[in-house]
Structure 1
Amino acid sequence: MNQAARTVTDWLASAHPAPAQARREFDVGIALVPTGEKFDAIRLPAPVVHAAAGSEDPDAVAASLAETLPGGAVIHDAYGIGVWYYALVPPGTYANWQAPGVECLRPGTWLGVPRPDLTARPGPHWALPPHTAASVCAAQAVADLVTRGQNSLRRTPASTPERTP
């Protein structure tokens, strides 16, 4: 592991009450880390992110996120029923988050955080990896992305089945 990755790993692990445990979990791939100390996390529905990016292609989404959320970090979790993205934002964002239809996780919520080099499936991975310690997205930039994605979804006509006479 190079020094930059070690620095990011140490920062992410430092959010855990037992950083050594988080580092061991990163050795396997994903550590459970509580929000609120080093970062908060905004849970974004994949359709909103994809609509904002104008694509579902992982490379196009990553490029869009890098442009929209420079210097930030975003986890993509495609497991389970829903498909989610988690934008890491500054701690304290939860107290003032107001974007409709999108949740900022309550401080103390345990989040599955991939180690910094996991940038592709399978499993949770970084859609926009952290490159430095404290790689968080500006909360307003995330809110703007949500607004753009929601507006795009509203403009997209819903498909309706055709009726035959």
Structure 2
Amino acid sequence: MIDQARAAITNWLASAHDTPTRARREFDVGIALVPTGTKFDAIRLPAPVVHAAAGSSAPEAVVAFLAEGLKVGAVIHDAYGVGVWYYALVPPGTYDHWRVPGVECLAPGTWLGVPRLDFLPRPGPHWALPPRAVGSVCDARAVAALVLRGRDRLDVVPGAERTL
């Protein structure tokens, strides 16, 4: 990614914060806490649902699946802790209309750990699908389709992990 594009995307992400300079300083260290609801909303996706939809839990396969299915969007993968989550960034206002049971769209004002753009590898929060441009968010309908595909596959696979 060209430095100018990277700076513009970082500034866009930081501009969601009341104090963008603070967010930019946090990005310098690695991960900025940024509130949802102004520049983007975020849908928290359980890893088993994403992996079932992708047909694999292999990082390369999941990234390829997300890139194909979500096109120009951005997805954070938080691989720390007991629950492993993906966060699809979606247009602001999605929270008001999100109706997919068992999968949460974070309420506006929820603080989300957003990694620096070059945080791509595991462990910890990193970009599974980094934003490629300012305003690069996933289509909420495509995220809903991913969830339904993953849940359908979990329903038919014997012994598949259920988290919903």
Which residue is equivalent to 1:120? 121
Which residue is equivalent to 2:29? 28
Larger radius of gyration: 1
Identify unmatched segments of 5+ residues in structure 1: 160-165
Q: Please state whether the residue corresponding to 2:11 is helix, strand or coil.
A: helix
Which residue is equivalent to 1:143? 144
CA-CA distance at 1:122 after TM superposition: 2.1
Cα deviation 1:48-78 (Å, max 9, x = unaligned) = 0000000101111000000000000000001
RMSD (Å) for aligned C-alpha atoms: 1.0
Opposite residue 35 of structure 1, the aligned amino acid is T
Opposite residue 108 of structure 1, the aligned amino acid is G
Alpha-carbon separation, structure 2, partners of 1:5 and 1:57 = 27
Q: Please state whether the residue corresponding to 1:44 is helix, strand or coil.
A: strand
Alpha-carbon separation, structure 2, partners of 1:3 and 1:117 = 14
Q: Please state whether the residue corresponding to 2:38 is helix, strand or coil.
A: coil
Alpha-carbon separation, structure 2, partners of 1:151 and 1:113 = 30
Identify unmatched segments of 5+ residues in structure 2: none
Q: Please state whether the residue corresponding to 1:80 is helix, strand or coil.
A: coil
Alpha-carbon separation, structure 2, partners of 1:30 and 1:53 = 27
TM-score normalised by length of structure 2: 0.95
Cα deviation 1:8-58 (Å, max 9, x = unaligned) = 100000000000000000001100000000000000000000000001011
Alpha-carbon separation, structure 1, partners of 2:85 and 2:43 = 10
Cα deviation 1:79-131 (Å, max 9, x = unaligned) = 11100000000000000101111000000000000011111112100000101
Which residue is equivalent to 1:40? 41
Which residue is equivalent to 1:57? 58
Opposite residue 113 of structure 1, the aligned amino acid is V
Alpha-carbon separation, structure 2, partners of 1:152 and 1:4 = 38
List, as ranges, runs of 4+ consecutive aligned residues in structure 1 with deviation greater than 2 Å. Answer: none
Which residue is equivalent to 1:89? 90
CA-CA distance at 1:158 after TM superposition: 2.1
Alpha-carbon separation, structure 2, partners of 1:100 and 1:138 = 18
Alpha-carbon separation, structure 2, partners of 1:155 and 1:133 = 39
